[in-house]
C-alpha cells in the first residue's frame, strides 16, 4: 500500500497544471481601482463635473443609487489620467466609488454598496484559492467525483442523495460571489445550511442512519482517495495563494517562538519608517516594527484563538518567515498538514465505528468535496479546528480526550466552544463530567501559556479579549443577511433583531444539550455536533465559504457515511 500511495500521490502532483504560485496581499486590498496611466502634468481633458456625471450615469451606479434619496453628495479627484469619483448618502456614508478615464470618458471601475469598503466583495478572479480551484474544469471535476463516488445509484431518490446535492449546492452561491454579486450570493447559502441543520436534528432525533451507501467497492474508494489527496497537495503547492488569515498564522508563530504573545504585537502600517518596495498600486506596506524587523502589515491578524498560531510553529521551524508577505512556504505546509490530519482522522473514526467501508467513505468525502480544497488552496486556518475535533471524536469514550479536543478546537475557532455542553457526556450525559472538565481545563491552561509570555499577564489577557472576542462580536460584514441594514438602502431588510433572537435560541439549545438527549450513540453525537456548528454559521454576521469545513466532518458522519445509531453494540475503548 505504501508504494501504491506514493505513486498515486506523485501522479496527483503531475496532473496539476504548472502555475506560478501567487500570494494575495489581503482579502480587503486585493487590487487597485485601475491600472494608472503614464504620469502626466497636462491638464485633464474632462472636467470634475463631467467625470462625476459620467460615473453617475453608469448603469450599475445608477441602479444602486435608486435605493437612496436623490442628489447625493459627490466629489472627484484627478491623478495620472484618471478621475476617482466618490458618492455619499446620509447615514449610509459612502455608497459608490470608482474611476473614470480622462482620455476616453469611459467608466473603468464602478463599485457600489459593500464593494466600496470590501474589496473582497468585488469578485476579483482567484482572490481566494487562486484561479485553478475556481476554474470550471477543476471545480466541476471535484463536484462530479464527489457525487459519482458517494451517491447510492440503486436508490436515486433517497434523502442521502439529496444531502449530497445540497452539499454541492453551495457552489451556486460561490459562483455569484466570484462575480461580485454579494446580494445574490449570500441568500443562496442559507437554504443548504437550513437543510443540513434540519437533517442533522432529524437524524439525531431518530438515532438511526439514513438508508443508502455508495456503490463503489472499498478498494476503488481508497485508491481514489489517495489519488485525490496527492492532487490536492499539488494544487496547494503549485496553484494556490495565501490570504491574510494564513499569513496571520505564521506571524503569530514567530511571535510565540521569540517569547512574545501574538496579541497586540502584529505588524502594523502607520507612521513608522517604510522599508520595502511598492506593490502594484504603488503603496509601500512594509514598516520597521517595534522588534526592529521590516515586516508586511497585517494589523487585524490577531483575532483568533492561540491554537491558530501554535499550529504554525512546526512550519515556521522548518521554513522560517522573512517578515514579508511572500510565498510563505510555512503556511502552505501547515495547510497541507492539517488537511492530512483531518483526512487520517476520518479514516480512523470510520474504521473504529463502521469498518473499512465507512473509513474509506468518510476519507473520500473529505478529499472530493470541493470546499475543503477551497480552504486548503486559500491556505487559511479553517481546517485546524475540525481536524482537532475529529481526533477528539476518535477518543469518544475518554472524557479527558473529549474535553481536551473541545478546548484546543475551541481555542482555534470559537464556534467549537458551543460543543462544550454536548460533548460533556458519552454515552450517558451523567458520566465522566469531572474528567471531561479536567481535560478541558488542562488543555486550556496549556495553550494559553502565550498570555504569560508578557510581563503583565493580566494586561495581556485584556488585550486578548479586546483583539478576539470583542472584535469578533462587534464586527460588521456584508457577507450574511444579518448586517445589510448598515447600508440604509431600499429593498435591503434590517434583520438584526431576528439574528439576535436566533443567536439566543442557539445558545440555549447548545446549553440544553448538556442534559438531553440522555443517551448518546456515536451517530446521535455526530449529528448534534453538526447541528450546533451549522446553527452557529447560520446566525454568524461575518460568514464565508471557507467556514464550511468546520461542520463538514460531522455532517459526513451523520449523513454521508452515517455512523451506527441506537441499538449498536458499544465498541471497545
365 and 401: one domain?
yes
DSSP string, 156-215: TT-HHHHHHHHHHHHHHHHHHHTTT-HHHHHHHHHHHHHHHHHHHHHHHHHT-PPS----
Those residues whose C-beta lies under 8 Å from the C-beta of residue 167, and which sit 6 or more positions away, are 146, 192, 196, 369, 552, 555, 560
179 and 281: one domain?
no
Which is it for the CA torsion 267, 271, 276, 278, positive or negative? Answer: positive
Tell me if 134 is assigned to some domain: yes
Tell me if 220 is assigned to some domain: yes
338 and 378: one domain?
yes
Q: Which of 86, 121, 156 is the last residue of a domain?
A: 121
Tell me if 401 is assigned to some domain: yes
281 and 360: one domain?
no
Residues 365 and 164: their CA atoms lie apart, in Å, by 10
Backbone φ and ψ of 286, nearest 5°: -80, 140
82 and 214: one domain?
no
Which is it for the CA torsion 32, 38, 41, 43, positive or negative? Answer: negative
Q: Which of 121, 150, 166 is the last residue of a domain?
A: 121
DSSP string, 314-348: HHHHHH---SSSS--HHHHHHHHHHHHHHHHHHHH
Tell me if 316 is assigned to some domain: no
Domains: count for the chain: 3
Instruction: Give the pLDDT score at 429.
Output: 60
CA contacts within 13 A on the Cβ side of 264: 16
Length of the chain measured in residues: 573
Residue 168 Cα distances to 163, 195, 256, 486, angstroms: 9, 12, 39, 31
Q: pLDDT tens digits, the chain, 573 residues: what are they? A: 344 344 344 334 333 333 333 333 333 333 333 334 444 457 889 999 999 999 999 999 999 999 999 999 999 999 989 999 999 999 999 999 999 999 999 999 999 999 999 999 999 889 999 999 999 999 999 999 999 999 999 888 999 999 999 999 999 999 999 999 999 999 999 999 999 999 999 999 999 988 777 889 999 999 999 999 999 999 999 999 999 999 999 999 999 999 999 999 999 988 889 998 887 777 888 999 988 999 999 999 999 999 999 999 999 999 999 999 999 999 999 999 999 999 999 999 999 999 999 999 999 999 999 999 999 999 999 999 999 999 999 999 999 999 999 999 999 999 999 999 999 988 776 668 999 999 999 999 999 999 989 889 899 999 999 999 999 998 999 999 999 999 999 999 999 999 999 999 999 999 999 999 988 899 999 999 999 999 999 999 999 999 999 999 999 999 998 888 774 444 333
Q: Which three cell numbers stand for residue 78?
A: 484627478
Residue 418 Cα distances to 249, 256, 357, 507, angstroms: 23, 27, 31, 7
Tell me if 411 is assigned to some domain: yes
Residues 12 and 231: their CA atoms lie apart, in Å, by 4
Tell me if 518 is assigned to some domain: yes
Residues 363 and 369: their CA atoms lie apart, in Å, by 10
Q: Which residue has the cell 517569547?
A: 259
105 and 220: one domain?
no
Which domain covers residue 277, as residue numbers? Answer: 268-298
Provide the CATH number for the domain around residue 105: 3.10.450.40
Amino acid at each position: 500500500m505504501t508504494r501504491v500511495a506514493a505513486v498515486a500521490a506523485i501522479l496527483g502532483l503531475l496532473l496539476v497544471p504548472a502555475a506560478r504560485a501567487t500570494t494575495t496581499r489581503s482579502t480587503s486590498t486585493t487590487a487597485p481601482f485601475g491600472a494608472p496611466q503614464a504620469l502626466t502634468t497636462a491638464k485633464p481633458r474632462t472636467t470634475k463635473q463631467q467625470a462625476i456625471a459620467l460615473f453617475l450615469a453608469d448603469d450599475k451606479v445608477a441602479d444602486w443609487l435608486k435605493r437612496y434619496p436623490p442628489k447625493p453628495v459627490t466629489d472627484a479627484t484627478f491623478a495620472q489620467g484618471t478621475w476617482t469619483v466618490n458618492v455619499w448618502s446620509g447615514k449610509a456614508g459612502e455608497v459608490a466609488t470608482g474611476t473614470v478615464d480622462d482620455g476616453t470618458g469611459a467608466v473603468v471601475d464602478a463599485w457600489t454598496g459593500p464593494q466600496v469598503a470590501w474589496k473582497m466583495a468585488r469578485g476579483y478572479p482567484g482572490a481566494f484559492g487562486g484561479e485553478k480551484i475556481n476554474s470550471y474544469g477543476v471545480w466541476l471535476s471535484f463536484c462530479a467525483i464527489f457525487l459519482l463516488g458517494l451517491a447510492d445509484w440503486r436508490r436515486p431518490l433517497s434523502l442521502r442523495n439529496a444531502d449530497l446535492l445540497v452539499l454541492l449546492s453551495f457552489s451556486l452561491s460561490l459562483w455569484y460571489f466570484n462575480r461580485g454579486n454579494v446580494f445574490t450570493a449570500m441568500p443562496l447559502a442559507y437554504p443548504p445550511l437550513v437543510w443540513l441543520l434540519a437533517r442533522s436534528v432529524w437524524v439525531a432525533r431518530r438515532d438511526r442512519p439514513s438508508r443508502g451507501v455508495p456503490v463503489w467497492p472499498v478498494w476503488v474508494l481508497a485508491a481514489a482517495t489517495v489519488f485525490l489527496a496527492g492532487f490536492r497537495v499539488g494544487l496547494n503547492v503549485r496553484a494556490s495563494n495565501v490570504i491574510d488569515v494564513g499569513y496571520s498564522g505564521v506571524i503569530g508563530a514567530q511571535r510565540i517562538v521569540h517569547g512574545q504573545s501574538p496579541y497586540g504585537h502584529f505588524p502594523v502600517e502607520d507612521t513608522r519608517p517604510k522599508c520595502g518596495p511598492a506593490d502594484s498600486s504603488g503603496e509601500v506596506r512594509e514598516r520597521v516594527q517595534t522588534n526592529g524587523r521590516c515586516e508586511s502589515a497585517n494589523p487585524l491578524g490577531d483575532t483568533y484563538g492561540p491554537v491558530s498560531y501554535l499550529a504554525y510553529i512546526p512550519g515556521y521551524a522548518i521554513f522560517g518567515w522573512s517578515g514579508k508577505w511572500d510565498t510563505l512556504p510555512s503556511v502552505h505546509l501547515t495547510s497541507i498538514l492539517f488537511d492530512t490530519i483531518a483526512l487520517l482522522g476520518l479514516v480512523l473514526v470510520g474504521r473504529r465505528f463502521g469498518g473499512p467501508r465507512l473509513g474509506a467513505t468518510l476519507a473520500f468525502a473529505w478529499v472530493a468535496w470541493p470546499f475543503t480544497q477551497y480552504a486548503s488552496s486559500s491556505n487559511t486556518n479553517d481546517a485546524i479546528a475540525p481536524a482537532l475535533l475529529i481526533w477528539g471524536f476518535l477518543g469518544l469514550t475518554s472524557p479527558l480526550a473529549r474535553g481536551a479536543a473541545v478546548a484546543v478546537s475551541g481555542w482555534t475557532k470559537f464556534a467549537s466552544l458551543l460543543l462544550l455542553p454536548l460533548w460533556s457526556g458519552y454515552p450517558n450525559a451523567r458520566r465522566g463530567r469531572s474528567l471531561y472538565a479536567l481535560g478541558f481545563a488542562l488543555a486550556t491552561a496549556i495553550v494559553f501559556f502565550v498570555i504569560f509570555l508578557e510581563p503583565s499577564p493580566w494586561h495581556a489577557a485584556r488585550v486578548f479579549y479586546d483583539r478576539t472576542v470583542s472584535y469578533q462580536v462587534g464586527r460588521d460584514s456584508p457577507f450574511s443577511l444579518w448586517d445589510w441594514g448598515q447600508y440604509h438602502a431600499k429593498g435591503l431588510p434590517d434583520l438584526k433583531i431576528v439574528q439576535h433572537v436566533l443567536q439566543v435560541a442557539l445558545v440555549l439549545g447548545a446549553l440544553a444539550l448538556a442534559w438531553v438527549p440522555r443517551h448518546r450513540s456515536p451517530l446521535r453525537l455526530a449529528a448534534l455536533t453538526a447541528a450546533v456548528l451549522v446553527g452557529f454559521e447560520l446566525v454568524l454576521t461575518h460568514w464565508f465559504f471557507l467556514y464550511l469545513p468546520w461542520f463538514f466532518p460531522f455532517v459526513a458522519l451523520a449523513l454521508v457515511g452515517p455512523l451506527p445509531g441506537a441499538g449498536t453494540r458499544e465498541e471497545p475503548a
